[in-house]
Structure 1
Amino acid sequence: MLAAMSEPHSNYQRVAKAIHFIAERQLEQPSLRDLADHVGLSEFHLQRVFAEWAGISPKQFLQFLTKERAKQQLRSSSVLHAALDCGLSGSSRLHDLMIKTECMTPGEYRKLGAGMDVCYGVQASPFGYCLIAQTQRGVCKIAFFDSPDDEAAVVAELQNEWPAATLRCDQGAVDPVFAQIFSGIKAGTAPLRVLLKGSEFQLKVWEALLAIPDGEVCSYQQLAGAMGIASSVRSVASAIARNHIAYLIPCHRVIRSTGEFSQYRWGTERKQAILLHETARVAAKVIGE
């Protein structure tokens, strides 16, 4: 049921391969030629594809990827604290999209989706194949995967999360959501609604993630501290790992205090790619202002 591979998606596959190579050899500061040989493109073609996808060059990304760059961002957590203090954990502007969260009640949570209709669709996104599922109350799952062969497993995961719900594929119903998230549609667009299902603690952590500004990162310790639960770092990390809504609930913006990007439910290279994309977009806005 997957649509034909889009240009942004095919470029992502090349960029992901380049990201993995750069991450493994960042201490060696690989040249553009080294990178092009590994990806199987000419230097000119790689430079063009990378810049078109990310908005910056492979060399600039190498600079972004270093631990020192990440550590510099981690030194400033005041923005996160300010956002949470102002009550912004429940709603945030994510790349010009207003996100409105709604949480299931404990009673609804126990019903496991009974009486609910969940529709889903799959498309090629700028970060690989992407499944989006939604109910009448909002988006309830976003998941990335690399191969069409993985689609069945992702759909099974969705069914496991909503075992009592009626699950159906409805590409037409989900396509507008894809466009709103990945095509930059914003003018006159209604806020995107997200339906969260989890424990009370998990919901608080997921909503707090929305306070991390676009293009920024924070550590697990900083997030726990900003939430006033500095002693619960492990519990916060566990809640982040259980996030079902990739990208919109930006768990990719949390990294280790050492500057390591650490694990990501949908792949470390994808986490790095999303952060790269966001950082480049924010930088472009600053230049344009």
Structure 2
Amino acid sequence: MNEQEKYNYERIANAISYIGDNFKEQPNLDEIAEKVHLSPYHFQRLFREWAGISPKKFLQYISVEHAKNILSDKDATLFDAAMDTGLSGTSRLHDLFINIEGMTPGEYKNGGENLSINYSYSLSPFGTVIIASTSKGICHIAFVEDEEKALYELKKHFPKASFYQRVDQSQVNALLVFANDWTQLSEIKLHLKGTDFQLKVWESLLKIPQGQLSTYGDIAKHIKKPKASRAVGTAIGSNPIAFLIPCHRVIQSTGNIGQYHWGSTRKTAILGWEAAKVHTK
């Protein structure tokens, strides 16, 4: 690290410290830039270069984590969380949670209470899957060896939701992908919870054509984070929608198949099956 890089790093470190200490005042870009003696434009560019996200997004992450801590108190209200986080009201808290957490603050506080989830089991060419859906779309697909254990894992994500073992149209549409029908993807709605970074990675996975492969580095470049291959790998490993969000199409730059949440053997079988399907078209 040369002197200029060291100087830039110290400026960004000071900015991060300032945001962490003053997030309750919800400082804007101009205020933070002034504290580190940079123009807003230069500061925004430099912060993205060193932190990987914008100053605004970093402030949002800090704010929502604080609000989550407040809401962990069963007696705390949404108004309490909004005020203690420095937000002007519960509507801003609502928007913040939707943007960062993919759910409302009320849903977060209640652990999925009042959320109805349908689930069912289905046979696929690669073993049994559990598939779950809400009124918004598919929220979970996983390959399973033990149905009871699979249901337990699903319920851990939504501890207070109501679960019903039944098939709905969202599940029927999604399961068509196992019949090699990827033409109906526009009919499939997803109900995903993830960070902005995770959602960008998962969206990028959806753009890998059947029968083709990508690498962690390719995905990092696609989402304009070329140095974030390791973080991309972590986000891919957190994919909650097996097969439909095709994380199996990502391999190591060396050509090795690499790890897969549902087993490397299954990943190899899926890739071979897809390659054969494309070849026979």
TM-score by length of 2: 0.59
Q: CA RMSD in A?
A: 2.4
User: Alignment partner of 2:191: what SS?
Assistant: strand
Please report how far the alpha carbon of residue 280 of structure 1 lies from its aligned counterpart in structure 2 after TM superposition.
1.0
Is the 8 Å Cα contact of residues 114 and 164 (structure 1) preserved in structure 2?
A: yes
* 1:126 aligned partner, one-letter code: P
Partner of 1:99: none
Larger % of strand: which? 1
CA distance in 2, matches of 1:187, 1:216: 17
User: Alignment partner of 1:124: what SS?
Assistant: strand
CA distance in 2, matches of 1:206, 1:167: 26
Partner of 2:136: 137
CA distance in 1, matches of 2:200, 2:171: 29
Residue 157 (str. 1) matches residue 156 (str. 2): no
CA distance in 2, matches of 1:114, 1:166: 7
TM-score by length of 1: 0.57
Q: Percent identity?
A: 38
User: Alignment partner of 2:217: what SS?
Assistant: helix
Please report how far the alpha carbon of residue 228 of structure 1 lies from its aligned counterpart in structure 2 after TM superposition.
1.0
Identify if the C-alpha distance between structure 1 residues 222 and 106 changes in structure 2 by more than 3 Å, giving closer, same or farther. closer
User: Alignment partner of 1:129: what SS?
Assistant: strand
CA distance in 2, matches of 1:173, 1:115: 21
Identify if the C-alpha distance between structure 1 residues 190 and 249 changes in structure 2 by more than 3 Å, giving closer, same or farther. closer
From 212, 217, 220, the equivalent of 2:216 is 220
Please report how far the alpha carbon of residue 225 of structure 1 lies from its aligned counterpart in structure 2 after TM superposition.
1.4
Please report how far the alpha carbon of residue 283 of structure 1 lies from its aligned counterpart in structure 2 after TM superposition.
1.1
Residue 246 (str. 1) matches residue 242 (str. 2): yes
From 163, 166, 174, the equivalent of 1:167 is 163
Partner of 2:275: 279
Larger RCO (CA within 8 A; separation ≥ 6): 1
Q: How does 1:1-289 map to 2 (within 5 A)?
A: 105-106=99-100, 108=103, 110=105, 111=108, 112-146=111-145, 150-171=146-167, 176-177=172-173, 179-184=175-180, 191-285=187-281
Identify if the C-alpha distance between structure 1 residues 185 and 205 changes in structure 2 by more than 3 Å, giving closer, same or farther. closer
User: Alignment partner of 2:133: what SS?
Assistant: strand
Is the 8 Å Cα contact of residues 224 and 233 (structure 1) preserved in structure 2?
A: yes
Identify if the C-alpha distance between structure 1 residues 175 and 210 changes in structure 2 by more than 3 Å, giving closer, same or farther. closer
Partner of 2:54: none
* 2:142 aligned partner, one-letter code: A
Please report how far the alpha carbon of residue 220 of structure 1 lies from its aligned counterpart in structure 2 after TM superposition.
0.6
The structure with the largest alpha-carbon Rg is 2
Structure 2: stretches of 5+ with no match in the other structure: 1-96
Is the 8 Å Cα contact of residues 133 and 174 (structure 1) preserved in structure 2?
A: no
Is the 8 Å Cα contact of residues 133 and 171 (structure 2) preserved in structure 1?
A: no
